[in-house]
A and B are shown apart, each in its own frame.
Chain A
Amino acid sequence: MISILEENMFLKLTLAGAALLASVALPATAVNAQTIGFSQIGSESGWRAAETTLTRQQAKDRGIDLKFADAQQKQENQIKALRSFIAQGVDAILLAPVVATGWDQVLEEAKEAEIPVILLDRTVDAPDSLYMTAVTSDLVHEGRVAGEWLAAEVDGKDCKIVELQGTTGSSPAIDRKNGFEQGIADHSNLSIIRSQTGDFTRTKGKEVMESFLKAENGGKDICALYAHNDDMAVGAIQAIKEAGLKPGSDILVVSIDAVPDIFLAMAAGEANATVELTPNMAGPAFDVLEAFAKDGTLPPKWIQTESRLYTAADDPMAVYELKKSLGY
């Protein structure tokens, strides 16, 4: 009842700035027992499943009532879910947008209803006044971390690198390529000699690696492999083994994502390093909402998640078991 009265009061103030409104709204939001709606894209990949699991875990640990909506890869389902969250009067909405465009209308509606929206994992093409913040990883940074690790690992020795790119033209492929190039830019001993797309899949990763090995003197000229995701690296590791070389020592393997299977390879000494694309996007989002509920702190418009580097020193089998339990 109280909240309805206050909402009516706030509706009169919709022309005022969002920040001002938010600070006025503060007493209305209960600090405990928040209800938060989460519109997830769908189950497109193991990573997505892990993100959902972690979001539910985080919500449970914090005593948040999470309303989960699976959009099955359709934007119209997400918009419907958002409208239903607004109608239910949730305290906040987490949105993992399936596409970048077409969100202005429904985000306006959420703003009018005084419900903060936090974007997870992907951003949208809408004015940033329409959402509270976006929690995403920095794809360029991920590539840079991988490049810097390799530069440190080879320690001044000459190293010819082959690169397995993601799907040509996709933003992870472009950004992870650029980031890696930045990471090795200051090291003239490192050079990328071949770069080809493996479409983010194991099969193509293996096939392309086979051609790299043929083209570079049976692989003897290759010092390291950089793959834009772990799945391609897993495929490539098989190709390296079948060519009679030892992945992990004859050819160093560094990749991105940190899916469970790469930790198995790492435990077997066949992969060297992976940069995590954390599935815990909800944790930072809930932190932000808690801070906001407590004293109205508004977060920056972009929160970068940690891109943690894992190597064989990080007890890969333990990480594997942990990751496996998240539903990857």
Chain B
Amino acid sequence: MNRLHPALRRILPQLITLVVVLGCNVLVFPDFFKIEMANGRLYGSIIDILNRGAPVALLAIGMTLVIATKGIDLSVGAVMAICGAVAAAAVAGGSDVATAVVLALCAGIVCGLWNGFLVAVLNIQPIVATLILMVAGRGVAQLITEGVILTFTNEGLIFLGSGSLMALPMPFLIWLGFGVLTAILVRKTALGLLIEAVGINLRASTLSGVRGNVLIVAVYAISGLCAATAGIIVAADIKGADANNAGLWLELDAILAVVIGGTSLLGGRFTLAGSLIGAMIIQSINTGILLSGFPPEFNLIIKAFIILVILIIQSPIVQSVLFALRMPPDRSGDDAEPNRDDRADERDHSMQKEGMAP
């Protein structure tokens, strides 16, 4: 265990949780892991999870960066509705798919810049600043769709939501690609470190020469971009932009994915891989509930219970108990490497603990 790569070690609890949830799904639905080819694409419950989890996974990527700067973005669900509506309106008006996608992505970035402006320049608390667009955004989307579900038949746009490439569904490939690109961007450059620095102490990082406000605006813009991509996928999936329901409450699922993934709401250290696994855990629970055949009245109770268990297991107190059980009393025999990791773990825990306090 101690020989694992530190990055992998960091997300190990999330991976174990995912495996356990998938295991539970097999219990309620024995054919859960069955995958077959149909119509030139893979077809099975696991594929469904990767496909249906796309919106939350995409939102979680942007949300992770925002939360790492000690912010939060409540507007992502509404931004999804706006961008889906923009894409649908564009193709309905005769544009080609590339124009429609670019317009929608631009709309998402503009929404993100607006949030970033409120947070970084006007210094409004993120939860309040993004609440504005969360409330107003659906109205904007309604204006674009003129209050109806705006349907379209553009094959190119529909392909983004329900097409497949190399037998894999497009939404999965999009979120995977997005996640890998973002991870390279923040981890192969100093960007990730700077974002963490801003999240831990904005003033100190500004005094050390980091342009904190620019970074904050940038992460909200990325969050808007992620939401736009998710919005396009959701609209393309049903061949229509539903301003009332697209992305409804998904901001909360995205925040939950980040928290399950092990990033503290107080900012600082973040893990994109953890958030993506968190998104898959949430979708596995959703899909498992649907497959189980329980009456729908139990859906939310089951989901809440499973998430409660996950959060209890991740809580600092339970973690330190588990940690104590795992460690042999005599630690002198070990080499220096695991000790360094242990300190990293403890830092994580103290952060999570602070995160729970408010």
Q: Do B148 and A208 have beta carbons less than 8 Å apart? A: no
Instruction: Check: A141 CB closer than 8 A to any chain B CB.
Output: no
Chain B residues lying within 8 Å of A196, measured Cβ to Cβ, are 290, 293, 296
For chain B, residues 71 to 104, give those with C-beta under 8 angstroms from any C-beta of chain A: none
A206 with B291: CB separation less than 8 A: no
In whole Å, how far is A209's beta carbon from the nearest beta carbon of chain B? Answer: 10
**A188 at the binding interface (Cβ < 8 Å):** no
Among the listed A215, A231, A238, which residue makes an inter-chain contact with B149, where contact means beta carbons less than 8 Å apart?
A231
How far does the Cβ of A45 sit from chain B's closest Cβ, in whole Å? 8
Task: Let me know if A238 and B147 touch, CB within 8 A.
Answer: no
A235 on the B face (CB < 8 A): yes
Point out the residue from A215, A235, A238, A243 that lies within 8 Å of B293, measured CB to CB.
A215
B-contacting 9-mer, from A95-103, A112-120, A197-205: A197-205
Asked if B299 is at the interface of the complex by the 8 Å CB criterion, the answer is: yes
A203 touches B238 (CB 8 A): yes
When chains A and B are docked, how far (Å) is the Cα of A15 from the Cα of B299?
Answer: 53
Say yes or no for B31: interface residue by CB 8 A criterion: yes
Chain B hits for A212, CB < 8 A? 290
B166 within 8 A of A: no
Closest CB of chain A to B231's CB: distance in Å?
A: 12
Where chain B touches its partner, the secondary structure class is mixed
Contact of A235 among B31, B39, B238, B295 (CB under 8 A): B238
Report Cα–Cα, A242/B38, bound state, in Å: 9
Whether B44 lies near A214 (C-beta < 8 A) is yes
CB neighbours (8 Å) of A43 from chain B are: 142, 147
Q: Does B234 contact A (CB under 8 A)?
A: yes
Question: Does A280 interact with chain B (Cβ within 8 Å)?
Answer: no
A residues near B162, Cβ cutoff 8 Å: 238, 242
Q: Which of the candidate stretches B108-116, B184-192, B240-248, B321-329 sits at the interface with the other chain?
A: B240-248
State whether A194 touches B39 (Cβ < 8 A): no
Known A-B contacts A194-B293, A207-B52; A202 and B38 likewise in contact (beta carbons under 8 Å): no
Q: Which of B31, B246, B290 contacts A207 (CB 8 A)?
A: B290
Residues B111-162 near A (CB distance < 8 A): 142, 147-149, 151, 162
User: Is B296 in contact with A46, judged by CB distance below 8 angstroms?
Assistant: no
Are B245 and A201 in touch, CB under 8 angstroms?
yes
Contacts of A197 on B, CB cut-off 8 Å? 296, 299
Q: Which of B34-65 contact A (CB under 8 A)?
A: 38-39, 43-45, 48, 52
Contacts of A215 in B (CB 8 A): 29, 291, 293
Asked, given contacts A197-B299, A215-B291, whether A238 binds B45 with beta carbons under 8 Å apart, the answer is no
A203 and B246: CB pair below 8 A? yes
**C-alpha spacing A238/B235, complex, angstroms:** 13
- The answer for the CA separation of A215 and B31 in the assembled complex, in Å, is 8
* A206 to B169 Cα, complex, angstroms: 15
Cβ contact within 8 Å between A211 and B287: yes
Please state if A243 and B31 are interface contacts (CB–CB under 8 Å). Answer: no
Chain B residues near A244 (CB-CB < 8 A): 38-39
Residue A137 is within 8 A (CB to CB) of chain B in the complex: no
Contact at A203–B237, with CB atoms within 8 Å?
yes
Query: Would you call A55 an interface residue if the criterion is a C-beta within 8 Å of the partner chain's C-beta atoms?
Result: no
Q: Is the CB of B299 within 8 A of A214?
A: no
A207–chain B nearest beta-carbon distance, Å: 6
Residues 276-315 of A, flagged 1 when their CB comes within 8 A of B and 0 if not, give 0000000000000000000000000000000000000000
In the complex, 21 of the A-B residue pairs with CB atoms within 8 angstroms, ordered by the A residue number, are A46-B147, A46-B148, A165-B296, A195-B295, A195-B296, A196-B290, A196-B293, A196-B296, A199-B245, A201-B245, A206-B237, A207-B52, A210-B48, A210-B52, A211-B287, A212-B290, A214-B31, A215-B293, A231-B149, A234-B238, A238-B162
> Which A residues have a C-beta under 8 Å from some C-beta of B?
43-46, 49, 165, 168-169, 194-197, 199, 201-203, 206-208, 210-212, 214-215, 218, 231, 234-235, 238, 242-244, 261, 328
